[in-house]
Amino acid sequence: MALRHLMSPLDMTIEETDELLDLANDIENNREKYAHICDGKILATLFFEPSTRTRLSFEAAMMNLGGKVLGFHSADSSSTTKGETVSDTMRIVSCYSDICAMRHPKEGAPLVASMKSLVPVINAGDGGHQHPTQTLTDMLTIRSLKGRLDHLKIGLCGDLKFGRTVHSLIESLSRYEGISFVLISPEELRVPGYVRDAMAAKNIPFEEVEKLDENTMAGLDILYMTRVQKERFFNEEDYVRMKDFYILDKEKMSLAPESMLILHPLPRVNEIAVEVDNDPRAAYFQQVQYGVYVRMALIMTLLGLEVK
């Protein structure tokens, strides 16, 4: 089987993505069937930047499949501190593992690593660029809870400039029919030009607004909230000015459509009040669970493993 990596959600065709999501749903419903498919396999998690969900869900995914995990959770605990390049690190880790998930603060670092790797490399988030496995998680959540990935009106709210999950999700959903976006952000945190240009080139209807109010939320199927990405700001003052720009609370939710699901890649800071967690439309903790199933399906797919 040819070596295959995942750098962007667009590395998979729509058909491959749908198959992966089908497999994730089957895993969800038949956990035992998949419990030993990765016996003897090792996943390396190379995280040069902090993570709770992505790293631990990858590790849980491999363990659920019967495999083992190794890795590091910060650049400080690797030989990067001695000056080793990401390519050399990856070449070395290829000798210890069968598949690797890498997070790095620099855009494109997992791609560079994949060029020297002997095993599949998964981009687990590269700077403010892409986060393909979060997008697969989001898509599985939407498809499972809404029953479709087409004909949806999706609001994306918060830091649309640095929020890599937003960029990946827009690119992916833009491939489905009848998708439109409402992009809700302060002027300084609008989506990057390349994301806007890609939507325009495909004639995807989208509007950019600043307020999160009743008018903005009208007709939305999904409201995808994001935190302001503190770690990508050049100065603290700008971050402090922006960080509480949006707060989704009970009062705001009383103005939202009854069928509108709230998603969030997490972690949250202040942008969703804790009082919203019990609202039946709050789907962000279910989303976390779907992240494990989709990563199990991805590991199996990239390793070319099938349950007979």
Contacts with 57 (C-beta within 8 Å, 6 or more apart), sequence order: 288, 291, 292, 295
Q: Hey, which residues does 6 pair with through a beta bridge?
A: 122
Binding status of residue 125 toward ligand CP by CB under 6 A = yes
Amino acid identity of 304? Answer: G
Phi and psi angles of residue 274, each rounded to the nearest 5 degrees, phi first: -60, -30
Q: Among this protein's residues, is 268 annotated catalytic? A: no
Closest contact distance (angstroms) between CB of 190 and ligand CP is 21
Q: Among this protein's residues, is 54 annotated catalytic? A: yes
CA nearest to 248, candidates 267, 232, 224: 224
129 vs 206 by CB, closer to ligand CP: 129
Among 8, 17, 51, 301, indicate the residue that binds ligand CP (CB under 6 A). 51
The rounded distance, in Å, linking the Cα atoms of 60 and 39 is: 14
Binding mask 219-258 vs ligand CP (x if CB under 6 A, - otherwise)?
----------------------------------------
| Active-site annotation holder among 5, 17, 41, 54 | 54
Binding status of residue 265 toward ligand CP by CB under 6 A = yes
The rounded Cα 71 to chain-centroid distance in angstroms is 20
Closest contact distance (angstroms) between CB of 158 and ligand CP is 13
Residues that bind ligand CP (rule: CB under 6 A) add up to a total of: 9
Among 45, 134, 168, 216, indicate the residue that binds ligand CP (CB under 6 A). 134
The rounded distance, in Å, linking the Cα atoms of 102 and 54 is: 10
Q: Among this protein's residues, is 81 annotated catalytic? A: no
The rounded distance, in Å, linking the Cα atoms of 186 and 160 is: 9
Q: Among this protein's residues, is 161 annotated catalytic? A: no
Among 13, 30, 52, 259, indicate the residue that binds ligand CP (CB under 6 A). 52
CB 208 within 8 A of CB 185: yes
Q: Among this protein's residues, is 164 annotated catalytic? A: no
Binding status of residue 8 toward ligand CP by CB under 6 A = no
Closest contact distance (angstroms) between CB of 229 and ligand CP is 10
Closest contact distance (angstroms) between CB of 29 and ligand CP is 24
CB 264 within 8 A of CB 287: yes
Q: From 29-37, 51-59, 151-159, 196-204, give the range in contact with ligand CP by CB under 6 A.
A: 51-59
Among 12, 119, 182, 266, indicate the residue that binds ligand CP (CB under 6 A). 266
Tell me which residues touch ligand CP (CB under 6 A). Answer: 51-54, 125, 134, 265-267
